[in-house]
Each structure stands twice: as structure tokens, then as C-alpha cells.
Amino acid sequence: MTEYTRVPLQGYQERTDSELLERASAFEARIARRRTIREFSDRDVPREVIAACIHAAGQAPSGANIQPWYFEAIRDAKTKREIRHAAEDEERRFYGGRAGEEWLDALAPLGTDENKLFLETAPWLIAIFEQRHGRDEEGEKVRHYYTKESVGLATGFLIAALHHAGLATLTHTPSPMGFLNRILARPTNEKAFLLLVVGHPADDATVPDISRKSLDRIANFRS
């Protein structure tokens, strides 16, 4: 087992209560403007922007510091087209009966269907993989801990970073997603966790007129 050398905390900046509230409120207002879109512009996004956001995602906490995630960032048109066709095959089965009436009824107000043009139109797709276990230098299987929780945290960091940069996203989860391992040549110890569509909104992009739960419906304070 690796033992880490303990070093002094660096980078923490003490702030007054009013500064804390100001910063928290500013982030709250900014993240509240985040909306999922399905109509993307084909306008390019520099690779460096995507790289910075993925690196930010890699700073997320993880069980035993294993960091059990891998990100495939795809701009190549041929690969995006192959992913779209494979995803639409799965989605046709999903909407054709696999999902069940209750699930389809829940999705109906959002207007989703099996057609996923955005997978080709958006400049970037980011496939996020969960590394369910690893291998040591001798090739022996190494257990990973809290992988889904860890990858979920990193995905949240990534979405927030992309939104902070000024981009729009769509979380896409065709089920099953094994085709991503095949198309992107990822190893069998990795499982596709989520496909994130990234770019600028199209000029005619629309979003459902929905609201979020109020604070008192999602939190309780015992003070």
C-alpha cells in the first residue's frame, strides 16, 4: 500500500463571511443559468478549452484517491458519425419497447426521441468511462473503491467547468453503451458512464419551460 507524505495545505485563502456569501451567491446565480440543450451550433471549440475543463474534472475527490475515470474527447467527424449511428440503434430499441410505458411517459414532456443529430453537429463529444478495476505492474487485478460515486463527482466537476467556460452541454446515456468501448478501443475493465455533448447553442436552440425544486424541498438545516 502506498503511503503518502503529508505536506502543508497550500492555496487555501481565508475569507470573511460576507466574501463567502458573495462568492457562493455568484456561483449559485451562474450555475442556475445552466440548461441542457439539444440544438447545437457546429462552431468549433478550441481543444485547449476542452483540455482545461477535463483537467479540472480530474481534480475531483475519489475513493482512496484511485481516480477511476478516463475521458475520451472526440472531435473527429468520422468517429462522431459512428457513435451517432450506434447510439441511434440502441435508442430505437429503447423507444421501441425496451424502456416501458412508464419511462416513456416520463420522457414525453421533454420531446426526446431516437434521433440524435446533435452527436454529429456539436463540435465535441466527451465519453466518460468508469474504471471498475485496475492492474498492477505484474498484471494482477487491483480493486477500485467507490468508482461510480467518484466518476459521478468528476462528471459534475466537468459539467460545471464547461458551463463556467461559457459552453453548453447535453448528458446522453443510451443504454447499453458498450459500443463506446468498441468504437474508442477502451479496455474491458472500463465501462461507459456517460456521453457528454459539448459546444455552443444553435441560434434557434430552445429548452423546455421547466423549473427546479426550491431550496426547502431539497435541503434541511439542523442548526
99 and 173 in contact (C-beta within 8 Å)? no
pLDDT in tens, 107-130: 777 777 778 999 999 999 999 999
> Which of 167, 171, 172, 173 lies closest to 201 in space, CA to CA?
167
Residue 157 confidence class, pLDDT cut points 50, 70, 90: very high
The confidence score (pLDDT) of residue 5 equals 92
The confidence score (pLDDT) of residue 99 equals 66
Which grid cell sits at 25? 451567491
The confidence score (pLDDT) of residue 131 equals 96
pLDDT at 1 over 60: no
Query: For the whole prediction, is pTM greater than 0.85?
Result: yes
The confidence score (pLDDT) of residue 2 equals 67
> Which of 209, 32, 35, 203 lies closest to 111 in space, CA to CA?
209
pLDDT in tens, 63-122: 999 999 999 999 999 999 999 999 999 888 877 767 677 877 777 777 777 789 999 999
The confidence score (pLDDT) of residue 134 equals 87
The confidence score (pLDDT) of residue 97 equals 67
Please compute the mean of the pLDDT values over residues 32-50 and round it to a whole number.
Answer: 97
Give the lowest-confidence range in 7-16, 77-86, 134-143: 134-143
Q: Which residues of 95-115 are buried (b: 16+ CB within 10 A; e: fewer)?
A: beeebeeeeeeeeeeeeeeee
The confidence score (pLDDT) of residue 192 equals 97
pLDDT in tens, 160-212: 999 999 999 999 998 889 999 999 999 999 999 999 999 999 999 999 999 99
Q: Which of 7-11, 41-45, 105-109 has the highest mean pLDDT?
A: 41-45
